[in-house]
């Protein structure tokens, strides 16, 4: 068990064995789709050291030392810089970056007084800890030159660190990241080996935080598609292209759509580097593209954010009579079920798999095949 949990410093995780079981967590899916036998995946994943991303608030502690950790609802802050969920590489890099911050003159942001500059550090890494991204989240560009001057020493001290960037977040709200990202290194992406594909990932790209279980998710979709008579698919909210690449192995063509330009740049580069010619990526709002598109697809793959697809998207999908199969991946069972209330007018669930993507929490990933 985690020391932070034992000392009641952090309650982000739940170590109750019964409540951590995937069967218990997925009760809402089981009750809502009671006629379908559910496949449970990822239950033998690593307990600790699996998480490839750390978002840590930077703050001054009572003894004036620097803390890296979480902000509670009452705005108190707790150092969890040695969280055991992180990969070994991230744990080492967190301590190194903390030392650099201590030795710098960067003004630390005070969440109560709303002054200072450095708010967060965000670290992303590959599953094998061979490459990392470090992002400094700051209130303004005021101290950008000082951070730029730190970069050569950071890279020398940490050989796995490939990308360093500054994210500008001027708003004093709970939103961690702002819209403007400034890359400070020659390298702009790291490369993650996801089963047979080597994928590019940029600082602001979405990527699953548990790559081992994510691989099972993508391979499950690939297996299901292989067993169907499908020649083309539309991948909405495609991110850096994971579902697109795995689906393309057994399809004539796949089109991936994602609003993030950086994610599409990464996906397009990955397609070229992996010699995948049957995939095209487009940077556009998913619903806007879906409403205007004229090309027909046999199947659609959707992996929306936690808020789900929404009424407008679902209704548009129901009206698209040429789409025969739907593959819905969701990290929020509640919004998935809300969407299904509209989608069931046309689509019938045939297979369901749930994945323990987020151990020690009540969250999980669901993949459903609708025919």
* Residue 25 and residue 362 in contact, taking contact as beta carbons nearer than 8 Å: yes
Determine the pLDDT at residue 19. 85
The pLDDT assigned to 20 comes to 84
Q: What's the pLDDT tens digit per position in 243-278? A: 999 999 999 999 999 999 999 999 999 999 999 999
Cβ–Cβ < 8 Å for 184, 151:
yes
Task: Please indicate whether the domains covering 9-45+210-370 and 53-186 agree at the CATH topology level.
Answer: no
At residue 64, does pLDDT exceed 90?
A: no
Q: How confident is the model at residue 16 (pLDDT cuts 50, 70, 90)?
A: confident
For 53-186, CATH number? 2.40.50.1070
The tokens for 264 are 């599409």
Distances (CA, A) of 276 to 48, 261, 327, 369: 34, 20, 21, 24
pLDDT level of residue 79 (50, 70, 90 thresholds): very high
Instruction: Read off the pLDDT of residues 339-371 as tens digits, 9 standing for 90 and up.
Output: 999 999 999 999 999 999 999 999 999 999 999
Residue 255: which residues within 8 A CB-CB, separation 6 or more? 232, 233, 234, 235, 279, 280, 281, 282, 295, 297
What are 276-333's pLDDT values in tens digits? 999 999 999 999 999 999 999 999 999 999 999 999 999 999 999 999 999 999 999 9
Q: Strand 180-183 vs strand 197-201: parallel, antiparallel, or unpaired?
A: unpaired
Percent of the chain residues topping a pLDDT of 70: 99
Is 331 designated active site?
yes
Q: Model confidence over 144-199: pLDDT tens digits?
A: 999 999 999 999 999 999 999 999 999 987 789 999 999 999 999 999 999 999 99
Q: Which tokens is 188 given?
A: 């702009």
Q: Could you give the angle at which helices 144-157 and 88-103 cross, rounded to 10 degrees?
A: 130
User: What would the pLDDT profile of 189-234 be if each residue is shown by its tens digit?
Assistant: 999 999 999 999 999 999 999 999 999 999 999 999 999 989 999 9
CA distance 130 to 161: 8
Q: What is the pLDDT of residue 11?
A: 86
Identify the pLDDT of residue 66.
Answer: 95
pLDDT for 1: 76
Among candidate residues 10, 83, 266, 331, the one labeled active-site is: 331
Over residues 100-111, the mean pLDDT reads 95
Q: Where are the beta strands (DSSP E) in the chain?
A: 38-41, 53-60, 66-71, 77-79, 118-125, 132-138, 161-168, 180-183, 190-194, 197-201, 232-236, 253-258, 279-283, 299-302, 325-330, 349-355, 365-370
Are 120 and 77 contacting, i.e. CB atoms less than 8 angstroms apart? no
pLDDT for residue 341: 97
Specify whether the CB–CB gap between 208 and 273 falls below 8 A.
no
Quick check: 42 pLDDT over 90? Answer: no
pLDDT at 17 (0 to 100): 78
Report in angstroms the alpha-carbon separations of 266 from 161, 255, 368: 18, 15, 27
The residue to which tokens 């660190």 are assigned: 161
Where in the chain are the domains? 9-45+210-370, 53-186
Query: What are the distances in angstroms from CA 193 to CA 116, 159, 242?
Result: 38, 19, 11
What 3-state class would DSSP assign to 89? helix
Least Cα distance to 135 among 204, 68, 199, 52 occurs for 204
Residue 117 · residue 107 · CB < 8 Å: yes
Give the class (CATH, top level) of 9-45+210-370. alpha beta
């Amino acid at each position: 068990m985690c020391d932070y949990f034992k000392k009641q410093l952090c309650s982000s995780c739940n170590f109750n064995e019964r409540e951590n079981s995937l069967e218990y967590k997925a009760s809402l899916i089981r009750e809502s789709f009671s006629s379908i036998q559910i496949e449970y995946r990822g239950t033998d994943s690593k307990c600790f050291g699996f998480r490839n991303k750390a978002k840590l608030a930077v703050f001054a502690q009572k003894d004036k030392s620097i803390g890296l950790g979480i902000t509670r609802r009452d705005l108190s802050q707790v150092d969890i810089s040695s969280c055991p969920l992180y990969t070994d590489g991230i744990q080492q890099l967190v301590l190194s970056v903390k030392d650099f911050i201590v030795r710098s003159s960067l003004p630390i942001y005070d969440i109560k007084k709303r002054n200072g500059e450095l708010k967060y550090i965000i670290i992303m890494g590959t599953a094998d800890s061979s490459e990392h991204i470090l992002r400094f989240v700051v209130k303004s560009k005021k101290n950008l030159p000082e951070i730029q001057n730190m970069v050569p020493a950071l890279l020398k001290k940490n050989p796995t660190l490939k990308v360093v960037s500054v994210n500008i977040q001027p708003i004093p709200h709970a939103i961690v990241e702002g819209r403007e990202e400034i890359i400070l290194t020659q390298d702009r992406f790291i490369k993650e080996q996801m089963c047979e594909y080597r994928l590019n990932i940029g600082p602001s790209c979405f990527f699953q935080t548990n790559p081992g279980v994510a691989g099972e998710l993508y391979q499950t979709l690939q297996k299901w598609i292989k067993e169907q008579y499908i020649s083309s698919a539309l991948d909405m909210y495609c991110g850096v292209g994971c579902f697109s690449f795995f689906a393309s192995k057994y399809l004539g063509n796949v089109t991936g759509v994602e609003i993030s330009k950086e994610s599409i740049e990464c996906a397009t580069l990955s397609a070229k580097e992996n010699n995948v010619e049957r995939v095209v990526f487009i940077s556009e709002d998913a619903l806007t593209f879906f409403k205007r598109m004229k090309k027909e697809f046999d199947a659609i793959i959707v992996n929306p954010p936690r808020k789900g697809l929404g009424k407008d998207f679902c209704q548009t999908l129901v009206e698209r009579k040429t789409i025969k199969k739907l593959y819905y991946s969701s990290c929020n069972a509640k919004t998935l079920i809300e969407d299904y209330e509209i989608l069931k007018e046309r689509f019938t669930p045939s297979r369901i798999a749930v994945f323990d993507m987020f151990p020690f929490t009540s969250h999980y990933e669901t993949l459903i095949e609708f025919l």
